[in-house]
Amino acid sequence: MLEGMIKEVLIDEKQLKDRIKEMGKNITNHYNEDDEIVMVCILRGGFIFMADLVRQVELPVSCDFMDVTSYEGGTTSTGNVRIIKDLEESIEDKHVLIVEDIIDTGLTLKHVINMLKTRKPKSIKVCTLLDKPERRTEKEVEADWNGFEIPNEFVIGYGLDYDEKYRNIPYIFIPEPELYEG
Ligand code: PRP
Ligand code: MN
Ligand code: MG
């Protein structure tokens, strides 16, 4: 399917697995057993990471999902963050852990955090698999747990799409330009 389209595998399956296990441990150690914790997956990119991460967290967490988008099919952010699907549950007095696949400019997270703050959660923390610090325009946006700091390259796989495709690729790769130049 991807023949000749992969420039470089940036993070392979073993690296993902090992790192996510570590992150799960760190998150488990941070909270208390009797804390009410809601893990909030930012769709759609976050769904694969969330599924693997939550199974490495040894706490009675609940899972909720929020769909926001800013890229609208392209390769760079348009800056317009749209809420497509809101959370199902109230987060008032609960510990919120936002789960993202990547922080790029930080616009998506900034918007989501500001919105969730108004709902009076006990705390808001952020866990991201990837961080692209070079691209950050929202300097105040930072993750509490960050899997991998990556260079300013377009990356795909493990939840991250190009034009809604390739989220199912089990590793993270930098594509050859042929992939998005058709
Ligand atoms: C991507 C990614 C993050 C966000 C990061 O989502 O999954 O949510 O962009 O970019 P930012 O820091 O510049 O805001 P996208 O809007 O492409 O939607 P998707 O998750 O459905 O692919
Ligand atoms: Mn996303
Ligand atoms: Mg996307």
pTM above 0.90, yes or no: yes
What's the pLDDT score for residue 77?
Answer: 61
Distance 22 CA to ligand 2 centre (A): 23
Q: Who contacts 149 (Cβ-Cβ below 8 Å, separation ≥6)?
A: 130, 131, 132, 133
Percent of the chain with pLDDT over 90: 90
Question: Is residue 93 in some structural domain?
Answer: yes
The better pLDDT of the pair 154, 74 is held by 154
What's the pLDDT score for residue 17?
Answer: 98
pLDDT above 70: residue 140: yes
Range of the domain at 130: 13-68+77-156
Q: What is the pLDDT of residues 35-93, one digit of tens each?
A: 999 999 999 999 999 999 999 999 999 999 999 877 566 666 666 678 899 999 999 99
Question: Is residue 1 in some structural domain?
Answer: no
Assess whether 18 carries a catalytic annotation. no
User: Is the ipTM here above 0.85?
Assistant: yes
Neighbours of 7 (CB within 10 A): 15
Choosing from 52, 104, 131, 161, which is the catalytic residue? 104
What's the pLDDT score for residue 182?
Answer: 72
Atom of ligand 1 nearest to the CA of 103: 12
Pocket mutation for ligand 1, best pick of 105, 108, 150 (most atoms within 8 Å of C-beta): 108
pLDDT above 90: residue 27: yes
The rounded distance, in Å, linking the Cα atoms of 159 and 45 is 5
Number of structural domains the chain divides into = 1
Distance 71 CA to ligand 1 centre (A): 6
- Sheet with 123-131, strands from edge to edge, namely 82-85, 62-69, 37-43, 95-103, 123-131, 145-149
What's the pLDDT score for residue 73?
Answer: 61
The rounded distance, in Å, linking the Cα atoms of 49 and 125 is 16
Atom of ligand 1 nearest to the CA of 104: 12
Question: Is residue 98 in some structural domain?
Answer: yes
Q: What is the pLDDT of residues 92-134, one digit of tens each?
A: 999 999 999 999 999 999 999 999 999 999 999 999 999 999 9
Question: Is residue 162 in some structural domain?
Answer: no
CATH number of the structural domain spanning residue 127: 3.40.50.2020
Rounded to the nearest integer, the mean pLDDT of the chain is 95
